[in-house]
Amino acid sequence: MFCVNHHTTRTVSHVTGPLSPHSYQNDWDITEEEEGGSPTTAIKNQRAVSWGTATAAYQIEGGWRADGKGLSIWDKFAHTPLKVFEDDNGDIACDSYNKIDEDVAVLKQLRVNHYRFSISWTRVLPDGTTNYINEAGFSYYDRLVNALLAENIQPHITLYHWDLPQALQNVGGWENETTVERFKDYADLVFSRLGDRVKLWITINEPYNVAMVGHGYGVAAPGISFRPGTLPYIVGHNLIKAHAEAWHLYNDKYRAKQNGMVSITINSDWSEPRNPYKQEDIDAARRVIQFYIGWFAHPIFNGDYSETMKTIIRERSLAAGLSKSRLPEFTPEEIKRIKGTYDYFGFNHYTTVLAYPLNYGNLQHYDGDRGAGTVVDRTWLDSGSGWLKVTPFGLRRILNFIKKEYGNPTIIITENGVSERGPIDLKDYHRSYFYEKYINQVLKAHLLDNVDVRGYTAWSLMDNLEWATGFAERFGLFYVNRSDPNVPRVAKESVSLYSTIINCNGFPDPASGPHDCLKPGPEGNQRCSDSSSGGKNKPDTMIN
């Protein structure tokens, strides 16, 4: 039995009638009141989601120069004064490079089915090329993969989570098309070493952030901001090509023998019109989505950039006196090669924004091309990150958008979570609230809207280096005591909530009475399972 905490009837006090177009206010869990007599509904006999959690190499591993590891762009960025809050860096981080047993132990405590982590490119290839293979680095990932499998936890590996080898950045990095071939070589090596045991792969994490945040705004490595109208589009173009080449490599050389799944992870907020009655706000919300998720999803899932992006950037480029569009063009052969390079839709999501039109004049910049400003509703709950407001309804909305826009692909949510700041408090009620509400929206999308969601991944397993905000913003289910030389992992209260959701495979129907999955300890290890399986407690899988 796959259960969803769904109330069949809702009353929304501040909406007097249905809005046209459909607005976020129609499904706003924070303010809606449950109508009396509307029970929680359990929906039975549905395929289950695989539950997991995630980290990234630079954020947790430490060992920045251990055993022959080379330098990455994040090593350089974090060691540059004033780039990271309080000059924090990942030199030690959570010391996961030396704590495989401890990390696997807390994963067992969570009862996850899969664990998403990334490979440090420079730990296995110190200069980014196959000229020298660092066997000590591969030994770490070999041992981690084997330890996970020994506990029946499926490894879900990201090849690139932002830590490009500095040696490649020195010759242009992602602006240089030769990096596409270097990435393909790197992927080939990792597939050959780990693919016999690893069946779930992500080529590149959040290409939007790599292109725009790292090469447009410049507030992440490599910290480039002086060509915001062209460089992000060039970098994004090469990231798409790199992903496609790695996918084809796996498809042609490894799939028949290894039988795994390879895709890219794309991130996006959901966007609603600030005023749902104004067409210009509706159009602005659509542009925000097309310039965010659509920038990378459209070429991979539909073929080529969207007409929205191509038309707007070309017209604004020509109006500024340029001879061609600032958005690079794919050749017909490249469009064909890129389209369809996915086995699932990897998706990271955190929050929602409200959009309105904003004219940047002749500014040749991504923001000017998008032509939209964004705000948030002041009543939305805050988090420890200024950009992250708690908006569960947006996740269901954007999952349905993906279903409609990109041909109903299988979706694995590869990140979703919430942060805190300030004094350490293990009673992280806000995180428990966040996961309960967001996961409920995922299950609604899956069970009520028939969105093909196969996996959910909480970000993050443990508090870690949150990029340019350092250790100040904490997304972890586990607190990491970095003042202790042993950097112990300590469970927050949200661990109990999330592990119970995993154990119950959703939310048990309260009308059926207390379910065994709610009991603590070994006697509570029975999953809320499909009766057709005989009630056997078998781990869920995303590969069916």
- The residues with which 157 forms a beta bridge, in sequence order, are 117, 201
Report the C-alpha gap between 107 and 145 in whole angstroms. Answer: 13
Contact status, residue 294 vs residue 286, Cβ threshold 8 Å: no
Report the C-alpha gap between 123 and 162 in whole angstroms. Answer: 14
Contact status, residue 429 vs residue 437, Cβ threshold 8 Å: no
Residue 13 phi/psi, 5-degree rounding, is -65, -30
Tell me the two tokens of residue 213: 């945040």
Query: Collapsing DSSP states into helix, strand and coil, what is residue 65?
Result: coil
Contact status, residue 238 vs residue 298, Cβ threshold 8 Å: no
Contact status, residue 67 vs residue 137, Cβ threshold 8 Å: yes
Catalytic residue among 32, 272, 405, 415: 415
Report the C-alpha gap between 249 and 244 in whole angstroms. Answer: 8
Tell me the two tokens of residue 417: 């979570």
Tell me the two tokens of residue 52: 């997991």
Tell me the two tokens of residue 264: 């890219």
Tell me the two tokens of residue 391: 């908006």
- Does residue 21 have a cis bond before it (omega within 30 degrees)? yes
Report the C-alpha gap between 341 and 301 in whole angstroms. Answer: 7
Query: Crossing angle of helices 279-297/392-405, nearest 10°?
Result: 70
Contact status, residue 270 vs residue 397, Cβ threshold 8 Å: yes
Relative to beta strand 154-160, strand 6-7 is unpaired
| Residue 295 CA, distance from chain mean position | 16
In the block, tokens 């770490």 appear at 140
Contact status, residue 203 vs residue 54, Cβ threshold 8 Å: no
In the block, tokens 């009620």 appear at 429
Rama region for 93: left / alpha / beta (φ>0; ψ in -120 to 50; rest): left
Three-state SS letters, 174-229: HHCCHHHHHHHHHHHHHHHHHCCCCCEEEEEECHHHHHHHHHHHCCCCCCCCCCCC
User: Is 206 tagged catalytic?
Assistant: no
Query: What are the catalytic residues?
Result: 415
